[in-house]
Amino acid sequence: MYDPIIQELFPHRQSIPLGKILSSSQPGSSENAIPFPDSEKNPDDFKYSLDYYKGDYDVSYTLTHYGDTFFPSMFARKNLLYLQLLYSASFTPSHYTKREELPSYLLAQTFWGKGVLRYRQKEYELYPDDLFLIDCRDLHEYFADSEEGWGYRFLHFDGTIMPGYYSQITAGQNVKFTFDKQSRFQDLFKEIFSVNYCSVQNKEILTNRILTDMITEVLCQCPQYQDQTLPKPIDNLCSYLQNTFREKLTLDQIAEEVGLSKFYMSREFKKYVGKTIFHYIIDCRIALAQRLLRYSDMTINEVAEYVGFEDHNGFYRAFTQREDMSPSAYRKYWDTF
């Protein structure tokens, strides 16, 4: 089964077995070949290349529709989201990959058959239009799970800002998402193939924009970023917390006040809001502290007490964790404007 995106973009492109790609000794020796770096001619490329075949895997009898490896510039590695590998292939039922400690993020979307992903103690079934996004530094395993095999397009990528993005994505305890053929995400997949097929001067900048848009589309499917109406009890709970976050609260007190069981309340709040009740309270406190640090003459200890922290060290830790700078550094930063 051929990748419909590749067929649409490159109707005259021929799919070839993976073995032929791996046997290509010179970069560019085949239109479909993955160019591996020459360690003597291109030492910097070799330094930043990745061993995608490290681990346990079976890619025999693979039909490759598109394959390209990238060796990003220093500017891209320091400032952008950048591609490492862009690929599309159909695999037989014996296909599997199991590995860890690969410095890369993997985004893969099924276009044919069925696959399964095992990642962070969860298992995900992958049908056409389903995709997964994982950090390959963690142990992961994925494999074909249908008699006809499995076809998927995928890209390996990285970037200095990606850990922050990924922490938001995994806050919802899910790495599987679905985008149908009419979605903007599908258009972005087409665009990233098109842009990187051509040799253009601004390829890395364009790729950064496309990858950022892809991550944005994924984030918009996460519970905490979905534009949805909260159930009335959870909406009432949010309103209550926004008015009382400065107070010393316990789950029992909150549950009694809003008329819900403690366990139901905690579970449903995390489900719809994407964070625990106490994380929500801390976020409210930090948001008020930011305003006070910028616009008031209160000391930092006074700010901590006013927003609800009895422990000044606890305020310092919570603020620094969320803002990546101390309260005093935050105030000094905004005083310069």
Going 309 to 312 to 314 to 320, the CA torsion angle's sign is positive
Q: Check whether residue 202 and residue 253 sit in a common domain.
A: no
Of the residues 223, 249, 276, the one at which a domain ends: 223
Entry pTM: 0.68
Can you give the C-alpha Rg of the chain in angstroms? Answer: 24
Instruction: Judge if 209 and 239 occupy the same domain.
Output: no
- Domain check: are 219 and 273 in the same one? no
CATH number of the domain where residue 309 is located: 1.10.10.60
Q: Are residues 153 and 280 in the same domain?
A: no
How far is the C-alpha of 239 from the C-alpha of 324, rounded, in Å? 28
Same domain, 216 and 271: no
Q: Is the pLDDT of residue 22 over 60?
A: no
- Residue 140 phi/psi, 5° resolution? -145, 155
139 and 283 co-located in one domain = no
- Dist. CA 259–CA 59, nearest whole Å: 56
Structural tokens at position 61: 């009898």
DSSP character at residue 59 = -
| Residue 327, amino acid | P
Sheet holding 122-126, edge to edge: 56-58, 96-99, 140-144, 115-119, 122-126
- The count of domains in the chain is 2
Q: Domain boundary at 196, 223, 250, which? A: 223
Residue-level pLDDT at 43: 46
Residue 57 one-letter amino acid: Y
Rounded Cα distance, 110 and 127, in Å: 6
Residue 141: band (very low, low, confident or very high) from pLDDT cuts 50, 70, 90: very high
Angle at the Cα of 123 (from 172 to 59), degrees rounded to 5? 120
Which residue type sits at 14?
A: Q
Check residue 28 and give its pLDDT. 37
CA distances from 147 to 93, 112, 115, 122 (A): 6, 12, 11, 23
DSSP at 230 = P
With a cut of 60, say whether residue 148 has pLDDT above it. yes
Domain that residue 52 falls in: 4-223
CATH code of the domain in which 196 resides: 2.60.120.280
8 and 49 inside one domain: yes
Bridge partners of 64?
16, 89
Last residue of a domain, one of 195, 223, 251: 223
Within this chain, do residues 147 and 293 fall inside the same structural domain, yes or no?
no
Percentage with pLDDT > 70 across the chain? 89
pLDDT tens digits for 166-207?
999 998 789 999 999 889 999 999 999 999 998 778 999 999
Q: Are 169 and 26 in a shared domain?
A: yes
C-alpha to C-alpha distances, 187 to 82, 89, 129, nearest whole angstrom: 19, 19, 13
Q: What is the pLDDT of residue 271?
A: 86
* DSSP symbols for 150-200: EEEEEEEEE-TTHHHHHHHHHTTS--EEE--TTSHHHHHHHHHHHHHHS--
- Residues 56 and 91 occupy one common structural domain: yes
